[in-house]
Each structure stands twice: as structure tokens, then as C-alpha cells.
């Protein structure tokens, strides 16, 4: 079901979707490419997803609502236009649920089409419609499903309200209460003070009519912990808040300003008993607490488990941002000329310089790794969710798959968000002055990606989830069976103890350019990181530290690295398999080189640990560095064609530096000459000439 | 002259300038501090600089023009307010030239006061007045000085126009021409096409009346290379451009949007011969070329040499941004509570978590290193400039000091800009959700600091300047005398060959917490990096690569690392000396710990190289990591008081998270409740409720 099945796609089908790119200075590089940039798309897309994206893009292109604005609009205007775009897209119903059942990749393909255009729009749709419905689907019962239907018809707009002013990461510390009142069969929702206000809630600032609210369920004087409620916030007919609800906008953010994040406080606000999403537990009419779980921790886990979809989704968002950034930087580097050999009058494209290559090409390789992994990961998550709803999954395997998925998503989200962060920054710097123009689009990508490091779990804290699980696995390493890790993320533990005794047998740069070898090294590194973290925690406990402190004091250089390496190891292996399996030989060759570069680039950051653990010795580390440089140099000529594979249409990418025609200066001229007021004397010119009227001079 | 001479400063003098900070949740930490946060300021400031900054801040605080605005103003408003603020400050004449002669640190203290408030304002002042005058002072002759006087009186506004659309880094590639016409004794300034338009020119977009323009001087058919001209752009009385000049604004940037960067094209624009700043070379009335330099490269070097002040200045700007970011993140971490031991009802301030400590405290140490180094470096540069003007300097030493200063500033600027980049990013992420509010101020710091990586020389390219020099030094290493490096940056080459044979003798974590040892390791690392880079270049040349290619292909992991290590080594040593020399024992103890942490933090990033070079072996690398963790943990309780040392006044810092009273939630409540329109229904509410009016539904 998760195979792409692309063998039969014809060139004509692809050409119909992707006409030839405009001729221009990028052609020199395009001609050098040994592979077909369109076919290369089939390593992460198939005809169905490509068509969907094209449909969405064509719709946007032809609709004036989706013209990018040049000058940054005011905060209010950004929210307004994003809201209108949301309804414009949503009302088109590009992927009716029935289609997703057949091709789970469609869900993410739609998101990708949106993120490539504008992240606020994509985030807003996902919060208003998808997340709201998903939570109700996951933790509600049949009488709640009418909300889903109303939401599907766009009659109400949802949001997801967990975080409070003073509590985010520590969900158990939330202080909003929902006190059950058996006389009236109502809950009384209350916010004790501003610190307990729900805060950061996306789409609540201006629009949402309903919220999924997390509150402490109190009944008969007892606090049963955090539970979810569907709470009416604003009248869907007037958008006025209901009495008892104080709701507002949290104001400007670093990025994603099209999304109206909001806050809400409840003043003894009455809800019917049916407002509780009580599939996993709740009170009966009398206020007695009932839950299908014996262990209350399990209930809490199950209700938060629904949120793992958000993390999976974010891996893919990060990949989208990287895609855009790297396309922009590679294309610009291929046309920007600066300096040249002493005896030459022609300057070289900066992509020809080794330093520029090592700054960018590894991020290009990473982008392929991410895109391939995230597409698979997203589709996997959708199929699991469908299985759960239709009852197709279940059983032991489903439980351990859930646990593994949690651990993997808690590692993959930080790995992807940080890879994207580093790539965007590298692209920004490597595009020199012009990359600092707003019109380069790189600033906005950075600002938007930043949120990926924070929401749906602060990266560093998510990594603790992963390492906590891995630490429980280590003592069981000799008895693991495939059903302990249905996704295969623990393969690195096969023969763990034996592998740890190995040292690096390779002595030539070429050896370090071989994906299979790099993967072997990563296996060692993964086992080593787990073992040393386990030992660190054990020794702290042996020295008398309790669990809380032992965990806290084994994070830096141990648990944190462990979780990252675990995530990287999975992504690297997945990339290698996808590359090696790819049906087309010319593309495959390049993909395998990208795998090698991604691997060498990752390894380089862990070189010290490889020495510390005794795996590397002498100057073997130089081989890894040299491999990264050589692979970057070898792949540089192919980079612009690889960028073509990754790029959305020009109007969608909307970057001065990233046009597929490579005519940067022409576009620059066009932009600056037509920018509103560019050539005009400022209206306030008198404040320059006659500054002494407001600033008495002491000069 | 560059000593701070702070021994005699009394507590009362300091208290007068810095009253007690407001009581609040930060007090717990403040009470733990073993040192006086006010006295700690004396490691980089003295009474004169502290007073100046206070005067400027008090002026701003009392002037309504300097109220920070909450909502981001439009681009035009940002430029307008920045311009007005510029004149308001400039007209106060806070540091008449006579004062700078006495205390060269004042120059930078003023800049610091401005940067702490708003970077656009600071950049704009420096471009409009300082840089314009400096270039004229440096490369003009006495008949040009009237421009300086007009500028000093604020009658004209300058700018500095080197970069063109298609040429920035490669200054020799500029294509603007100034053709001498002996009949009229005029130059004809001409821009052949848009690609040769001067572009990115700060303060030219809306305001400048005059520009320093770099153009190819052509006379009698011969191109004499890049020369500078003072060019009238706009009429100072009307601010209208002169005929022949097309001047405009380049639009929105990623940051620094208060600065009106602009472009200009000249259409056969006539200039009197006197417009040429021809101290280093120019034509006589007949058009015959004359220069005091025999070697034309030297003339070009001398005219660009004037620009090294810009790089020195940027090191300090970077330090200012770091200062603000780290103050914000440390104060917030000390009051933000999340999670706690299982048996406790109190949550812990997140600053108590080891992972949070290792994420932030090393950047705090780095901030001290930078602040101390940059203050010294700035003052040094000012004294050298004064020496040059008054003829006090000169001689052999002055020449080699110029070369060393160039090399050092080309390394220090990237080191500082990147340290700041990494610190700001760490602070942004470590402040979780609330750090993503615009009101945290961290987003703007990141966007503004970004420019530091690019302007006045793209970081990676500057590093080439440094390594090029070091490579010429290596063969001479046995014969270096102090006059080869008057600033002492080559001390690491003493006994270079012998030192290279050493291996790391230390086996305990405590050893790696000892600054003297870390400095010893850095010495080894510096020599090793130089030697290996030299060998790399030599082997490429031996294999037949010409100079251009040999240099290009020895950048990654070699020349780039070399230059960074050289810069870091200097800053680390300077920090150590300043700390060890500090007159006050309690402050000194903490400073020395900060030195150790800065050093361990730096070393950790070079661990792999230390292994590759055979200096470290076995698991010695763990000692360095463990040292960094322990030092971070030891220093964490002192961090809030250290932040007090670094912090500007609250209204100036202007960060919701960084107030000295630690009342984050109170301020947050205040901000969101009073944000314009926060609680109001949007005016466009009908577009939510009646979306079907503009988006026909297919749902
Ligand atoms: C753009 C955006 C949109 C959002 N949208 C929503 C939404 O729609 N609905 C919603 O409910 N929420 C939303 N949020 C909130 C978001 O989920 C939280 O901000 C996020 O979970 C981080 O929690 P926090 O802010 O409490 O971070 P904190 O926990 O306060 O983190 C601050 C710092 O403390 C550190 N720290 C905390 N605990 C520990 C520990 N035990 N050990 C080590 N370090 C620790 C963290 O690592 C971090 O460095 C949004 C946030 C953003 C930025
Ligand atoms: C905010 C801002 C303000 C500015 N203000 C002014 C001003 O007032 N006046 C003015 O004259 N200019 C100004 N500039 C321009 C600035 O000085 C240049 O942008 C800067 O020098 C970088 O040059 P570039 O843009 O040509 O970069 P490029 O040289 O085009 O750099 C692009 C990429 O190519 C790489 N590259 C180029 N050559 C090589 C090589 N030989 N080897 C390896 N890699 C290479 C670079 O490292 C970089 O990664 C400003 C710029 C900014 C961003």
C-alpha cells in the first residue's frame, strides 16, 4: 500500500504535468545532468500526488486571491487574506475522504501544495478543519460526530487549545478546570487566572467558533486529570464571543503571521455534559468517573497519542521549507558569477567554488533524504489512522507500532526541523547580499520554520521521549523480535554487542563514499550512543540520583545525541533503500551519491564521538571530510537539475533568486522599479531637510 | 591608553548610574551571586563610557520619538521614524571629536547605546555621518574637507556606494565608469546598464544627498581601476534627485528595515574634477594619471584599507545583539517554571535543567568574551585611526600593524557574527513558545544580526583574507619578531614545530576546566590548522593546480577552519588576560570560570580535529565535553546576575521576556490585552461567516 508503483509512468504523462522550463542561464547546468529531472520526482511522488498538486496550483494561479503581495501587509490584512484563502481552497474539496482511503499520500500532497505557496494558509487549514476533526474522531463518541460534519461543511471553525500561559511542555500542569455539576448535568469551565488562560491557540485569535479545550476534570471534589471538551467560543452566525468567554488575539509573532493565534479565558462557563470527549474516560450522569483503562496513565497517553500526527506532519513541513530554500540557493549560485581565474575575463558561477559547494550541496542531499522519508512517514501515519478508525489494525503489533511511531516521530521531528533550520540559514548566507532581500523569500522561510522547533513539543523535550524508550529497550536487546519494532527502527541493535567491538576497517576516501559503509558506521554509532547513555544513567542512579535527576543529568552529549542519531540512522537507511530500489538506473546512480553525501555529512558531525568510542583512529576522520567534499564537488553540476526536481512553479516559490529562468537581474530590476514609491521622494522629505524644526541642534 | 583604569571607581559612583533593580522572582538567583553585578561591568566599561551610555539612554527615554512601537509599522513609517530619530540623536552631539581623542572607547560606547535601542537607527547614523566622513578623511585632500564639515553640521547626508547589482565581493569587477574629460575638467559618471547600478547602498533609498561612489577611472582611453568620488545625488534643499541621476529604494529586507537601502544609476552625469578623492591616485588636469604608490595594487589596497573600520565595528554590533539575546533567554529561563521532581508540587525554573544550561550558559560565556574583545578592538581601531590622522603612528610597525589588523578583523568579524547567530538561535529556541512572540525581541535580533554575516565582506570570503596572510607567515615562522605582529596574534607560532609534537597530557575533567590548559590546547590547534592548510595548498600546487584553484580547493575543513581558529585563539587569550588581570577578586573568580567555559565550548567543536591530528587519544574528548557541562552547571546560578551586568535598561531592551523584574506573565497580560484590536471582532468577520459569498462550495 505504501509503494509508489511508478514503473509504468510515461515521459509523456510527466511532460504534460511539467512543461519544459524556460531557457536561460541555467541551461548550461541542465544540459550537464545525466538524469531526467521529471522522472526523479518519482522517487517521492506518484502520478496521483503530482496531479493533485498541479490541480491545486493551477487553481491558485488562476484565482486573484492567491496573488503574492510584494509589501508585507499589516497584521490584520495578513489574517484577513489567509482566512479568505483558506475558505477558497477548502471549499474546493480537493481531496474528499474517499480518495485518501485509496491513496494515503494525497493528504500530504495537498499539504505540500499549500506549504509551497504559503505556510500560514496551510497551518490555518490544518488547525481549523483537520486537527479539530481528528481529535473529535479520536477521543469523541458518535454523538460528537455532528461537529465533524459541521466542520466539514465549513459551518464552524475549530481550534486546539491545550497550551496555557504558564504551561506548555508540562501538560500535566494545566490549571483550567472543568467541574462537573450533576444537578444540571453540566461542566463548569473555569480559568482561575491569566496564567491559566489558554494561549497560543492557532486560529482562535479572530476566527474559531469552537475549541477543543484541555481541562482538569473535577468531579465530587476529585481531580481526574486532563480531559478534552468541545467548547463553543463564538456564535457562528455573528462571530461574537459567548458570555463567559474572553477571547482575543496574541498579536504579532516571529513568523506565520497569517495565523491568528489567540488566547481564551473562561469565567464559570457552563457546558452540557455532552461537551466532554469521553471515549477514553469521563463521568457518568452522577459524576462517577469511568474509564476503559485500568491504568490512568494509559488514558492520558492515549488521549495525547492522537497528537503524534502533528509531529509527523511537521517533519514534512520542514522538508517543504528546505525544498524551497535549497532550490533558491542552488539556482542563484548557478547564475551568480563572482571572481574567476587570474587569466580569465569570465567570472565563474559561485556554484563552482568548492567552499560554496560544501556549504550547499550537503543540504541538497539532506533535502532529498527528508522529502523521501517524510512522504513515506506521512502516508504511513494516515494508513495507521485509517486502520484504527476502520478497525483494520489492532492487536499486539498495533500497540508496539504505536509506541515505535511515537519514539520515531519524537526524534524525526527535531531532526527534520533542525536540518531545515540549518539548510535555510546556509542558503541565506550563501546567497550573499541579494539573499537578504525580503524578495529572496529566505527570511520568511526561516521565520516560519522556526516554529517547527517549538510547537507540537519543544525539540529537546521530544528527544527525551525517544531516549526514554530506547533506554528501556537496551536491556532487552538480545530478545528483540520484529514485532517489537514493526517499522524496523531497532535493526541497529542486531548483534549490538558484537558490533561494538568492531573498529573502522576503511582507509581510503572512496570507502567513505560508499553508502553501505556509511550505514555500517551509523549502526555502530547508534549502538554506541545507546550503550553510553544507558551507562551514564545507570552510574548516576548508582551514585544515588533519583530517576528525575538521573534523566536530567544525562541529556547533554548523551541522551540528546542518542535520539538524534537514532532518527538520523532511520532516515539514512530509508533513503538508501529508496535510492537502491529506484527503478530507473540514471536517477538511481545520482540518488546513491546523494545518500553517500547525506551520510558523510551526518557522520562528520559525529566524528569526535566515533573517536571517543574508539571506532575511528589515526587520521581516518579526514577520510570522512574528504568524502563529503568530493561528493559535493561531484554532485554540484547536477545540483540545478536536482533543484528543478524539487521546485514548485515559479509563481508559487515566489523568490526573486529562485526563478527557473535564472534571470535574476531582470526580475530584480522589475521588482525595484515597480515597488510602490521606489523612485519617489518620501512624503516626509521635509523632516530630512528641515530636521532642526524638531531636533534643536547642539552641533 | 587602552587600559580601562577602573581600580578607583567606587560603589557609590556605580550605584548612581545603576539603581537597584526591581524586586521580583529573579531575586532568588541574584542573592546567590558571589560578585557585584555592577562592578562586573568594569571588565569592559569604565566610568566615562558608562556615563555616556546613560546620558544617551536618558535622553531617549525622555523623548517621545524613542517610544518603541508595538505593531510593526509599515516600511515607509519605519524609515521615517528612523530618520527622525537619527537627527534627534545626532543633533545632540553626544561625543564631540575632541572627547574621542581622550577616550577612544567613547565611539563604540555611543554605538552600543544606539544598538541596544534599535539597530536601524545605529546603522543609519553610522552610514550617513561617520562612514561618509571617514572615507573623505582617509582618501580625500584638504579641499574635500568642506564636505566633512557640512556633514558634521547635518546639512548634507552621505552614503557609501561600492556594491553593484552584479558585483559585490569582487570589487574589481565593478562596471560604473568615471571618464575624465580634460576639456571641461570633468568626470563623466556612467552606469552602462542595470547590472552596474549601485545597489544596497544604505541611506541612499530615501535620504542621502551625497554618495561616495566607486567607479573605474578612465582617462585617455585607459582604465586605471576603481577610484572614489564624492557625488551629489539629491538637492539638499528639496531632496529631489539631480538630472542624470536615477535613484530609488530597494524595498523590504529581512531586517534593518529602518535603513533605506537604495540603488542609483548615472546617465553621463558630469562631475567637476574635484569630485575625485584622489589622495592615493588620480589624474591631473590633462588627464595623466599620478599616484604616490609605485605598485598599483598597493593603491587599491590602501583605498580599501579604510574599510577595515567597518569590520571592527561589526564585531561589536554582533556582541551587542548577543548581549540582548542572552539577557532575554537567561532571565526568562530563571522565571519560567516547567516540570519538577516527582515528589514535589513546585515546578523548577527551566534554568535548573542541565540541558537548558548547556544550551545557554556557554553562549553567556561567549558573550563576555566577545564584549571584552570587541570593546578593546574598537578602541584600538579608533586610536590607530587617530594616530594616522595626526601622524602619530607610521613607520614599519604601523605597516605591519595594518596588515595584522586586516587579518585579525577578517577573522574576528565572522567569528563574532557567527557566535551571535548561534547564540540568538539558541536563545530563541530555548525560550519555547513565548520566545516566538514578536514581543520577545529575539526574531528581530536574528534578522538584524544576519546582515553581519554578509555586509562589509561575506564571512566566508573574509576568512580567505586571513588564511592567505597566515599562509605567507608559516614559512617565516622561525624568524618572527614582535614587530611582525604588533597585536600579538602570532604568539601561537612560538616553538611551533616543537609544540606540534606534543600530545594532550591531561586525564581529568578538572584539567579541562583550567583556562591555562585550554589555551595550551588552542595553541596546538592553531599551529596544526596552519600547518595542515599549508600542506594542503602545497600538495595541490605540486599536483599542478594554479594559485587560484589551489586556494579554492583548500578552503573546506582547512583554510576556513584555520582562520576561525586563529580568530578564536586570539579572542580566547584576550579574554583570559582580561579576566586574570581584573582587579576585583570575586568578579575575577567568575570571569576565569567563564573563560574556561568559553574555551571548552570552543574546543568541543574542534574535538575531531584534535583527534585527527593525534593530539587527543582514547576518550580524552569526553573530558572536554564533561568540562563544558560542569562549568555550565556551576555557572548557571550566577547567570541571572551576569545577565544584569550585560543588560541595558528594560525599556531599551524592550523584550517581554527580558524585564529585570522577571514579571513575564504580568507584562504578557498587559501586552495582549492592550494590543490594538486584540479583543475585537475583526472588521472582516463576514468573510468568515459568509465565506460562500466569495468561495463557491463543492463540499
Ligand atoms: C507558532 C506556534 C503555534 C502554536 N499553536 C498552538 C496551538 O494551536 N494549540 C496549543 O495548544 N498550543 C500551541 N502552541 C504552543 C506550543 O505547543 C508550546 O509552545 C510548545 O509545546 C512549547 O512549550 P512551552 O512554550 O511551554 O515551552 P517551555 O517548556 O516553557 O520551554 C522553555 C524552555 O525550557 C526547556 N525545558 C522545559 N522543561 C524542561 C526539562 N524538563 N528539561 C530540560 N529543559 C526543559 C525547554 O526545552 C525550552 O528550552 C503553539 C506555539 C507556537 C510557537
Ligand atoms: C543589509 C546590507 C547593507 C549593505 N549596505 C551596503 C552599503 O551601504 N554600501 C555598499 O556598497 N554595499 C552594501 N551592501 C552590500 C554588501 O557589501 C555585499 O552584499 C557583500 O559584500 C556581499 O557581496 P555579494 O552580495 O556580492 O555576495 P556574493 O559574492 O555574490 O556572494 C554569494 C555567495 O558566493 C560566494 N562566493 C563568492 N565568491 C566566492 C569565491 N571566490 N569562493 C567561494 N565562494 C565565493 C559567497 O561566499 C557567497 O556565499 C549591503 C548589504 C547588505 C545585506
Where do the H-state alpha helices sit in A474-514? 496-500
- Residue B400 pLDDT > 90: no
CA distance A346 to B51: 54
- Tell me, what's the pLDDT at B307? 78
Q: Both A549 and A585 in a single domain?
A: yes
- 3-state DSSP call for residue B74? coil
Q: Is the CB of B350 under 6 A from ligand 1?
A: yes
E strand or H helix at A199: strand A198-202
* Pairing of β B210-219 and β B177-181: parallel
- Residue B395 pLDDT > 90: no
CA distance B631 to B648: 26
- Tell me, what's the pLDDT at B3? 82
- Residue B394 pLDDT > 80: no
Q: Both A353 and A486 in a single domain?
A: yes
**Between vectors from CA A666 to CA A663 and to CA A672, what angle results, nearest 5°?**
135
CA distance B477 to B89: 49
- Tell me, what's the pLDDT at B392? 65
Q: Is the CB of B340 under 6 A from ligand 1?
A: no
Give B234-260 pLDDT, tens digit per residue: 999 999 999 999 999 999 999 999 999
Is residue B668 one of the residues assigned to a domain? yes
Helices (H) and strands (E) in chain A, counts: 27, 11
Output the domain CATH number for residue B641. 1.20.140.10
List of chain B residues whose C-beta atoms are within 8 Å of the C-beta of residue A421: 425
Q: Both B364 and B441 in a single domain?
A: yes
Question: In this predicted structure, which of A617-631, A632-646, B87-101, B195-209 has the lowest mean pLDDT?
Answer: B87-101
Interchain CB distance below 8 Å, B675 and A249: yes
- Tell me, what's the pLDDT at B337? 98
**Between vectors from CA A502 to CA A497 and to CA A504, what angle results, nearest 5°?**
145
In the stretch 324-353 of chain A, residues with CB closer than 8 A to chain B read 337-339, 341-342, 347, 353
- Tell me, what's the pLDDT at A186? 98
Percent of chain B at pLDDT above 70? 99
Q: Is the CB of A465 under 6 A from ligand 1?
A: no
CA distance B626 to A557: 9
Q: Say which residue, A402 or A229, is predicted with more confidence.
A: A229
Please, are residues A403 and A410 in contact by the beta-carbon 8 Å criterion?
A: no
Give B455-507 pLDDT, tens digit per residue: 999 999 999 999 999 999 999 999 999 999 999 999 999 999 999 999 999 99
B553 is catalytic: no
Confidence bin at B267 (pLDDT 50/70/90): very high
- Provide mean pLDDT across the span A608-628: 98
Residue B96: all three cell numbers together = 564631540
Residue bearing cell 527534520 = A416
- 3-state DSSP call for residue B340? coil
Residues that constitute the known binding site of B for FAD: 163, 202
Confidence bin at A394 (pLDDT 50/70/90): low
* Pairing of β A261-266 and β B282-283: unpaired
**Between vectors from CA A546 to CA A544 and to CA A551, what angle results, nearest 5°?**
115
- Provide mean pLDDT across the span A151-163: 97
Q: CB neighbours of B402 closer than 8 A, spacing ≥ 6?
A: B305, B384
Please, are residues A409 and A469 in contact by the beta-carbon 8 Å criterion?
A: no
Residue A62: all three cell numbers together = 488562476
Please, are residues A79 and A361 in contact by the beta-carbon 8 Å criterion?
A: no
Q: Both A388 and A253 in a single domain?
A: no
Is residue B566 one of the residues assigned to a domain? yes
CA distance A321 to A451: 12
- Residue A330 pLDDT > 80: yes
Is residue A524 one of the residues assigned to a domain? yes
Residue A180 β-bridge partners: A187
Interchain CB distance below 8 Å, B699 and A91: yes
Q: Give residue B269's domain range.
A: 160-295
Give the residue from B267, B295, B323 where a domain finishes: B295
Q: Both B458 and B423 in a single domain?
A: yes
* Three-state SS letters, B93-146: CCCCHHHHHHCCHHHHHHHHHHHHHCHHHHHHHHHHHHHHHHHHHHHCCHHHHH
- 3-state DSSP call for residue A227? strand
In the stretch 107-126 of chain B, residues with CB closer than 8 A to chain A read none
CA–centroid distance, residue B644 to ligand 1 (Å)? 25
- Residue A390 pLDDT > 90: no
CA distance A190 to A269: 6
Is residue B439 one of the residues assigned to a domain? yes
Q: CB neighbours of A474 closer than 8 A, spacing ≥ 6?
A: A530, A531, A534
Any chain B CB within 8 A of the CB of A585?
no
Q: Dmax of chain A from CA atoms?
A: 92
- Which of B239, B247, B681 is closest, CB to CB, to A689? B239
E strand or H helix at B456: none
Question: Domain tally for chain B?
Answer: 2
Q: Residue A610: which of A510, A537, A526, A508 has the closest Cα?
A: A526
In the stretch 643-682 of chain A, residues with CB closer than 8 A to chain B read 665, 668-669, 671-673, 675, 677-679, 681-682
For the CA of A253, the nearest atom of ligand 1: 1
Give A566-578 pLDDT, tens digit per residue: 999 999 999 999 9
Q: Is the CB of A202 under 6 A from ligand 1?
A: yes
Residue A250: all three cell numbers together = 496574541
Ligand number nearest CA of B462 is 2
- Burial class of B101 by CB neighbour count within 10 A (0 to 12, 13 to 18, 19+): middle
CA distance B317 to B454: 13
Residue B287: all three cell numbers together = 588627464
Out of A456, A514, A535, A553, pick the active-site residue: A456
Interchain CB distance below 8 Å, A611 and B607: yes
Q: Both B254 and B328 in a single domain?
A: no
Q: Both A254 and A332 in a single domain?
A: no
In the stretch 197-216 of chain B, residues with CB closer than 8 A to chain A read 199-200, 206-207
- Tell me, what's the pLDDT at B102? 85
Is residue A556 one of the residues assigned to a domain? yes
Interchain CB distance below 8 Å, A200 and B669: no
Q: Both B173 and B205 in a single domain?
A: yes
* Pairing of β A289-290 and β A282-283: antiparallel
Residue A583: all three cell numbers together = 527503478
Interchain CB distance below 8 Å, A681 and B614: no
Q: CB neighbours of A406 closer than 8 A, spacing ≥ 6?
A: A305, A308, A465, A469
CA distance A286 to A252: 45
Q: Residue A2: which of A46, A50, A59 has the closest Cα?
A: A46
**Average pLDDT of chain A, as a whole number:** 96
The string of DSSP codes covering A354-404 is: HHHHHHHHHHHHHHHHHHHHHHHHHHHHHHHHHHHHHT-S-HHHHHHHHHH
CA distance B164 to B191: 10
* Pairing of β B198-202 and β B282-283: unpaired
Any chain A CB within 8 A of the CB of B625?
yes
Q: Is the CB of A160 under 6 A from ligand 1?
A: yes
- Tell me, what's the pLDDT at A677? 86
CA distance A595 to A574: 10
Residue A432: all three cell numbers together = 550573499
Residue A582: all three cell numbers together = 529506484
The string of DSSP codes covering A106-174 is: HHHHHHHHHHHH-HHHHHHHIIIIIIHHHHHHHH--GGGHHHHHHHHTTSS---EE--BSS-SS-GGG-
Give the residue from B295, B326, B354 where a domain finishes: B295
Q: Is the CB of B436 under 6 A from ligand 1?
A: yes
Residue A219: φ, ψ to 5°: -145, 140
Crossing angle of the two packed helices B585-605 and B620-635, in degrees rounded to 10 = 140
**Between vectors from CA A699 to CA A698 and to CA B2, what angle results, nearest 5°?**
105
Residue A331: all three cell numbers together = 539556482
Interchain CB distance below 8 Å, A612 and B629: no
CA distance B263 to B202: 9
Give B31-69 pLDDT, tens digit per residue: 999 999 999 999 999 999 999 999 999 999 999 999 998
Output the domain CATH number for residue A222. 2.40.110.10
Percent of chain A at pLDDT above 70? 99
Question: What does chain B come to in residues?
Answer: 699
CA–centroid distance, residue B200 to ligand 2 (Å)? 10
Q: Both B555 and B657 in a single domain?
A: yes
For the CA of B203, the nearest atom of ligand 2: 8
CA distance B600 to B578: 18
Any chain B CB within 8 A of the CB of A166?
yes
Q: How many CA atoms lie within 13 A of A118 on its CB side?
A: 25
- Tell me, what's the pLDDT at A305? 72
Is residue A133 one of the residues assigned to a domain? no
Please, are residues B109 and B45 in contact by the beta-carbon 8 Å criterion?
A: yes
- Tell me, what's the pLDDT at A393? 59
Cα–Cα separations (whole angstroms), residue A25 to A22, A354, A656? 10, 20, 15
Residue B202 β-bridge partners: B261
Interface with A, mutate which of B86, B87, B617 (most A CBs under 10 A):
B87
Any chain B CB within 8 A of the CB of A194?
yes
Interchain CB distance below 8 Å, A342 and B425: no
Q: Both A522 and A661 in a single domain?
A: yes
CA distance B162 to B164: 7
| Predicted ipTM of the assembly | 0.98
| DSSP-based helix, strand, coil % in chain B, nearest 5 | 60, 10, 30
- Tell me, what's the pLDDT at A398? 78
Is residue A458 one of the residues assigned to a domain? yes
- Tell me, what's the pLDDT at B399? 83
DSSP letter, residue B441: S
Q: Both A503 and A404 in a single domain?
A: yes
Is residue A203 one of the residues assigned to a domain? yes
Q: Both A464 and A518 in a single domain?
A: yes
Give A600-612 pLDDT, tens digit per residue: 999 999 999 999 9
Interface with A, mutate which of B129, B202, B250 (most A CBs under 10 A):
B250
Confidence bin at A396 (pLDDT 50/70/90): low
Q: Say which residue, B294 or B597, is predicted with more confidence.
A: B597
- Residue A395 pLDDT > 70: no
Give the residue from B269, B295, B321 where a domain finishes: B295
Residue A261: φ, ψ to 5°: -70, 140
Amino acid at each position: 500500500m505504501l509503494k509508489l508503483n511508478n514503473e509504468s509512468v510515461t515521459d509523456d504523462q510527466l511532460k504534460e504535468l511539467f512543461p519544459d522550463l524556460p531557457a536561460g542561464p541555467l541551461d548550461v547546468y541542465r544540459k550537464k545532468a545525466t538524469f531526467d529531472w521529471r522522472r526523479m520526482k518519482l522517487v517521492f511522488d506518484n502520478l496521483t500526488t503530482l496531479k493533485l498538486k498541479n490541480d491545486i496550483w493551477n487553481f491558485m494561479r488562476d484565482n486573484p486571491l492567491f496573488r503574492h503581495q510584494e509589501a508585507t501587509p499589516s497584521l490584520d490584512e495578513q489574517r484577513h487574506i489567509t482566512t479568505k484563502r483558506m475558505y477558497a481552497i477548502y471549499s474546493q474539496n480537493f481531496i474528499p475522504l474517499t480518495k485518501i482511503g485509496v491513496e494515503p499520500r494525497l493528504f500530504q500532497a495537498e499539504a505540500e501544495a499549500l506549504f509551497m505557496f504559503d505556510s500560514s494558509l496551510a497551518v490555518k487549514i490544518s488547525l481549523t478543519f483537520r486537527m479539530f476533526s481528528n481529535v473529535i474522531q479520536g477521543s469523541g463518541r458518535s454523538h460528537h460526530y455532528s461537529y465533524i460534519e459541521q466542520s466539514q461543511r465549513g459551518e464552524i471553525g475549530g481550534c486546539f487549545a491545550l497550551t496555557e500561559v504558564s504551561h506548555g511542555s508540562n501538560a500535566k500542569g494545566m490549571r483550567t478546570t472543568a467541574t462537573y455539576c450533576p444537578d444540571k448535568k453540566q461542566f463548569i469551565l473555569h480559568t482561575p487566572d491569566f496564567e491559566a488562560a489558554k494561549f497560543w491557540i492557532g486560529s482562535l485569535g479572530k476566527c474559531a467558533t469552537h475549541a477543543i479545550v484541555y481541562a482538569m476534570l473535577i468531579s465530587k471534589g476529585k481531580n481526574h486529570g486532563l480531559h478534552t471538551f468541545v467548547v463553543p467560543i463564538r456564535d457562528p452566525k455573528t462571530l461574537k464571543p459567548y458570555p463567559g468567554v474572553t477571547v482575543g488575539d496574541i498579536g504579532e509573532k516571529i513568523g506565520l503571521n497569517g495565523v491568528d493565534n489567540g488566547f481564551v479565558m473562561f469565567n464559570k462557563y457552563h457546558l452540557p455534559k455532552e461537551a466532554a470527549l469521553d471515549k477514553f474516560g469521563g463521568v457518568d450522569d452522577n459524576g462517577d468517573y469511568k474509564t476503559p483503562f485500568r491504568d490512568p496513565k494509559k488514558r492520558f497517553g492515549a488521549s495525547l497519542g492522537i497528537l503524534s500526527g502533528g509531529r509527523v506532519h511537521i517533519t514534512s513541513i520542514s522538508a517543504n521549507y528546505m525544498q524551497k530554500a535549497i532550490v533558491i540557493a542552488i539556482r542563484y549560485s548557478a547564475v551568480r558569477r563572482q571572481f574567476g581565474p587570474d587569466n580569465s575575463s569570465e567570472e565563474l558561477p559561485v556554484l563552482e567554488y568548492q567552499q560554496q559547494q560544501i556549504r550547499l550541496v550537503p543540504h541538497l542531499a539532506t533535502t532529498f533524504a527528508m522529502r523521501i522519508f517524510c512522504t513515506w512517514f506521512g502516508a504511513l501515519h494516515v494508513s495507521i489512522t485509517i486502520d484504527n478508525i476502520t478497525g483494520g489494525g489492532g492487536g499486539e503489533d498495533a500497540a508496539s507500532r504505536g509506541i515505535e511511531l511515537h519514539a520515531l516521530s519524537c526524534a524525526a521531528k527535531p531532526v527534520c526541523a533542525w536540518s531545515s533550520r540549518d539548510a535555510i540559514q546556509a542558503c541565506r548566507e550563501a546567497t550573499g547580499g541579494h539573499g537578504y532581500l525580503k524578495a529572496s523569500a529566505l527570511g520568511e522561510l526561516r521565520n516560519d520554520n522556526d516554529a517547527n522547533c517549538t510547537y507540537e513539543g519543544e525539540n529537546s523535550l521530544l528527544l527525551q521521549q525517544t531516549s526514554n524508550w530506547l533506554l528501556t529497550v537496551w536491556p532487552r536487546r538480545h530478545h528483540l523480535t520484529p514485532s517489537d519494532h514493526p517499522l524496523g527502527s531497532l535493526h541497529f541493535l542486531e548483534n549490538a554487542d558484537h558490533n561494538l567491538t568492531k573498529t573502522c576497517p576503511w582507509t581510503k576516501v572512496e570507502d567513505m563514499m560508499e553508502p553501505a559503509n556509511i550505514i555500517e558506521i551509523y549502526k555502530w554509532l547508534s549502538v554506541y550512543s545507546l550503550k553510553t547513555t544507558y551507562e551514564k544513567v545507570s552510574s548516576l542512579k548508582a551514585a544515588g540520583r533519583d530517576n528525575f535527576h538521573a534523566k536530567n543529568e544525562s541529556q547533554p552529549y548523551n541522551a540528546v545525541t542518542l535520539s538524534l542519531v537514532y532518527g538520523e540512522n532511520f532516515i539514512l537507511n530509508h533513503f538508501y533503500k529508496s535510492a537502491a530500489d529506484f527503478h530507473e538506473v540514471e536517477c538511481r546512480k545520482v540518488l546513491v551519491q546523494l545518500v553517500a553525501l547525506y551520510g558523510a555529512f551526518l557522520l562528520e558531525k559525529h566524528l569526535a564521538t566515533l573517536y571517543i568510542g574508539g571506532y575511528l583512529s589515526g587520521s581516518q576522520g579526514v577520510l570522512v571530510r574528504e568524502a563529503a567534499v568530493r561528493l559535493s564537488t561531484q554532485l554540484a553540476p547536477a545540483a540545478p537539475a536536482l533543484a528543478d526536481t524539487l521546485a514548485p512553479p515559479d509563481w508559487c516559490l515566489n523568490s526573486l533568486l529562485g526563478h527557473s529562468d535564472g534571470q535574476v537581474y531582470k526580475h530584480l530590476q522589475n521588482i525595484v522599479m515597480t515597488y510602490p514609491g521606489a523612485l519617489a521622494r518620501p512624503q516626509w522629505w521635509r523632516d530630512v531637510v528641515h530636521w532642526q524644526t524638531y531636533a534643536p541642534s547642539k552641533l
